[in-house]
Structure 1
Amino acid sequence: MSNSINDRISRLRSRRLGLDRSSAIALDAKDFIVNRSLNQERWEGRAKDKPYTTFALGAMQEVDPTYTRISLETAERVSNQLARRMSGSMEFELQGSVPLNVHIRGVSDVDLLALDADFYTYDRRGAISLSGQYNSPSTRTSVGVLTARRAEISRVLREAFPVATVDTSGSKAIKLYGGSLARPVDVVPSHWHDTIEYQASRQKYDRVVTILDSHKNTTVDNWPFLHIKRVRERCESTGGGLRKSIRLCKNLKAELEAEGQSVPISSFDIASVMYHANMINLSVGSVYELAILAETQRHLDYLVGNKEVARQLMVPDGSRNIFNEEEKLTGLLRLSIGMDSLLREVAKEQNYLLRLSETPMLDASREAVIKSAIF
């Protein structure tokens, strides 16, 4: 695909409006998207004749709340069908980019946890366990319970949504899309695990979600609500700057991949990387929005130049190192190089003197955009 900035803007617009995934949704949802695409979004007119600035600003913005509402309603529709048709009791929760509001697509996959409410595990060292309030440990295993639930969920989804595609090829999520659905939904069979921390606090964010890896016939523990809580709190301290930085990185990654590059770092890890950026610098973005670009570039560049520091960084929930696989550092490098290039081009649009240099210094480029007032 073309690497021109106008093509990047076009693809960004397509992602945000859902035009890139119209084949995976219901016909009436397609009509909504087509009608919506006839109007410009506000970011498209904020920096006239400055296409790199336009792209950077657009890449930071949240998806139209109407699109997000439809995603949430679609997940609720799926959960209602599962609750009504499945045996035993189920609980449903959302995880991932949509509830955290860092998704970058109008038609975004929604991660729906389908939790078996009749089965849970717990740490025997916790306060509830020690006080004898739990039932005796079950003789059933997590793998056995979740394998059975996965099979039942797959069957029920095919019955409830006969025209939709139910894709069970993935190891963790069952993908549901098409038919009458306005959004794709990833259903994740899972159950609760009550940690020592949860037994003391009774707060959902301290509770582990145990999910099945069907390919390896084992389970994986996640802390999705602790991740959401910590990223959300840090974002609020920046006036929304952290979320904008995460979206900027995710959109740039999407562009680099559209242009043929491999950027092996996940959305979860991108959010985790920017969680460790300078929050004061990101806060400047509430007044000078392009300061978010400057801090994002600075932070990525710093980590590339200080790999040992990068290797020590933990994901927000504290469960592992971000760069627990070497290829993620390759993804970081490619994202950083792409952000360097974007910063330089935006700086040239903001500062006449920098246009005289093909590759202006990064420090000078950051300085040029940090206090660029664009309304």
Structure 2
Amino acid sequence: MTKRYDELIQKINQRTNPDSFTMKALFAEENVTSLLFENKKLKTAEVYVYVQKAMKGVAQEYTNNSKTAANQVEEHLKRSHSSEVHFERQGSVMTNTHILKDNDIDLVQITNKSKGVDHIGLKNTLANPNTLNSIEYKNLKKHSEDFSQYEGNQLTDLKNIRKKSEEVLASTYKEVDVEKVNSIYVQVSSPKRDVDVVTATYYKGVDYMKTNRDYRRGIQIYNKELHKLSNVDYPFWSIKRINERSILTNGRLKNMIRFIKNVKFDCDNIDNKGAIRSFHINAICFNIDVAKYQYAHFLELVTVINDELIRILIDKSYRDNIKSVDGTETIFEKDCDKKLQEIRFLQAEINQIIIDLNLLNKQLI
């Protein structure tokens, strides 16, 4: 075997469970009856243990403390902003697909004064009522009739919220970075966690206005340096889709996402802030046909992932149609060459794991 799985296991233990909490079992792995994985000696082999640990989530107690830290920051900001803002969460912690070094929880403070609205989409959709059911038409019509132009200045509002938040957090916590353009970094001391505070506005797209479902609302993040809003993102829809797909697959979708993140972090050829980020890993795994892995043993997921990465590398028409989890972006449209290079590195790492698993299995027969 070419990989030092003992070292990799140690790194994962330090990365995902630094406080040595008791870890829960990985979906139904102990109850699987596949003849391929019945050998008890295989379960103690280091490559087996590495794959198992790479797919498991961060200890729940650790994750709960991350959420507690975000709640503490929210309480400080609430006292300052009163009813001026509403708070949401986004990031991989909310889908339990994070690894400790990717412990991404954003506290999103959203102005209550104004919202972005897709006026053109609303007008065009109402102009074609045959494409709508009665509830959708009624909802869209009401949004159109209830709209009133905001008389304030949305960007100024967001600038003031951001400025006030910087002052509150800097006076409350020792470690605060207010120089980041899209967020304020805060290190909470007890429990010791990092929290990013994002300032944003809601965005009402057509899909939200059709349904009035909160999870279909978009957000636009305020950029302090440029004094402008980002493109629309739909983090709550992504969170819901990942969580629901993972329930359907008994956790297997999230196992694949975590596995790729851990392999990526352990790959010397890929910068952890490289072209392939959590956003892209989510999309790649979400795009895999559920039938290929819905009832698979967790070791079989490694081959499912490997096959998917190979197809992305060799089939341009296929990869060009892979979209973000929220369905709004084609993930290989930008920086495709850089992303493909990192996909090659990932695929090589995962392919070696498959080779090592197969070799071990032959030795134990």
Which band: TM-score by shorter chain?
A: 0.7 to 0.9
In structure 2, how many angstroms separate the alpha carbons of the residues matched to 1:40 and 1:224?
28
Q: 5 Å matches for 1:293-304?
A: 293-304=302-313
In structure 2, how many angstroms separate the alpha carbons of the residues matched to 1:11 and 1:134?
54
Query: Relative to 1, partners in 2 of residues 1:48 and 1:231: Cα closer, same or farther, differing over 3 Å?
Result: closer
Q: 5 Å matches for 1:127-146?
A: 127-131=141-145, 133-141=146-154, 143-146=155-158
Equivalent of 1:152, from 164, 179, 182?
A: 164
- Does the CA contact (< 8 Å) of 1:127 and 1:200 recur in 2? no
Aligned match of 2:238: 227
Specify the SS of the correspondent of 1:86. Answer: helix
- Does the CA contact (< 8 Å) of 2:66 and 2:191 recur in 1? no
In structure 1, how many angstroms separate the alpha carbons of the residues matched to 2:310 and 2:66?
34
- Does the CA contact (< 8 Å) of 2:269 and 2:345 recur in 1? no
- Does the CA contact (< 8 Å) of 2:203 and 2:219 recur in 1? yes
Aligned match of 2:64: 69
Specify the SS of the correspondent of 1:183. Answer: strand
Q: 5 Å matches for 1:26-65?
A: 33=19, 36=20, 49-65=44-60
- Does the CA contact (< 8 Å) of 1:63 and 1:106 recur in 2? no
In structure 2, how many angstroms separate the alpha carbons of the residues matched to 1:3 and 1:149?
50
CA offsets 1:239-286 (integer angstroms, 9 cap, x no match) = 111110000000100101xx353352001110101111131222123x
Residue range with higher mean Cα deviation, 242-251 or 193-202: 193-202
Specify the SS of the correspondent of 2:87. Answer: strand
The reply on whether 1:341 has 2:352 as its aligned counterpart is yes
Instruction: List structure 1 runs of 4+ shifted beyond 6 angstroms.
Output: 39-43
Residue range with higher mean Cα deviation, 230-239 or 99-108: 99-108
Query: Relative to 1, partners in 2 of residues 1:338 and 1:217: Cα closer, same or farther, differing over 3 Å?
Result: farther
The reply on whether 1:250 has 2:228 as its aligned counterpart is no
Q: 5 Å matches for 1:7-22?
A: 7-18=7-18
Which letter maps to 2:53? G
Q: Percent identity?
A: 23
In structure 1, how many angstroms separate the alpha carbons of the residues matched to 2:282 and 2:51?
17
In structure 1, how many angstroms separate the alpha carbons of the residues matched to 2:69 and 2:168?
16
Specify the SS of the correspondent of 1:185. Answer: strand
State the number of aligned residues.
327
In structure 1, how many angstroms separate the alpha carbons of the residues matched to 2:244 and 2:9?
31
1:128 Cα deviation from its structure 2 partner: 3.4
Aligned match of 1:118: 113
- Does the CA contact (< 8 Å) of 2:203 and 2:220 recur in 1? yes
Unpaired runs of 5+ residues, structure 2, are 31-39, 123-139
In structure 1, how many angstroms separate the alpha carbons of the residues matched to 2:236 and 2:23?
35
CA offsets 1:120-170 (integer angstroms, 9 cap, x no match) = 222333433322x233333413x3332222222111111222x2x111232
- Does the CA contact (< 8 Å) of 1:89 and 1:118 recur in 2? yes
CA offsets 1:202-233 (integer angstroms, 9 cap, x no match) = 11122111102334432121100111122222
In structure 1, how many angstroms separate the alpha carbons of the residues matched to 2:195 and 2:53?
26
- Does the CA contact (< 8 Å) of 2:23 and 2:59 recur in 1? no
Which letter maps to 1:80? E
In structure 1, how many angstroms separate the alpha carbons of the residues matched to 2:285 and 2:201?
29
Query: Relative to 1, partners in 2 of residues 1:235 and 1:179: Cα closer, same or farther, differing over 3 Å?
Result: closer
- Does the CA contact (< 8 Å) of 1:113 and 1:190 recur in 2? yes
1:114 Cα deviation from its structure 2 partner: 0.9
After TM superposition, the score normalised by the length of structure 1 is: 0.80
1:341 Cα deviation from its structure 2 partner: 1.2
1:3 Cα deviation from its structure 2 partner: 6.0
Which letter maps to 1:231? I
Which letter maps to 1:167? D
Q: 5 Å matches for 1:1-375?
A: 4-18=4-18, 33=19, 36=20, 49-86=44-81, 88-105=83-100, 108-124=103-119, 125=122, 126-131=140-145, 133-141=146-154, 143-161=155-173, 163=174, 165-220=175-230, 221-256=232-267, 259-262=268-271, 263-285=274-296, 288-325=297-334, 326=336, 327-352=338-363
- Does the CA contact (< 8 Å) of 2:69 and 2:188 recur in 1? no
- Does the CA contact (< 8 Å) of 1:245 and 1:274 recur in 2? yes
CA offsets 1:163-222 (integer angstroms, 9 cap, x no match) = 2x1112322121111534421101111111112222221111221111023344321211
Specify the SS of the correspondent of 1:63. Answer: coil
1:49 Cα deviation from its structure 2 partner: 4.5
RMSD: 2.5
In structure 2, how many angstroms separate the alpha carbons of the residues matched to 1:201 and 1:172?
29
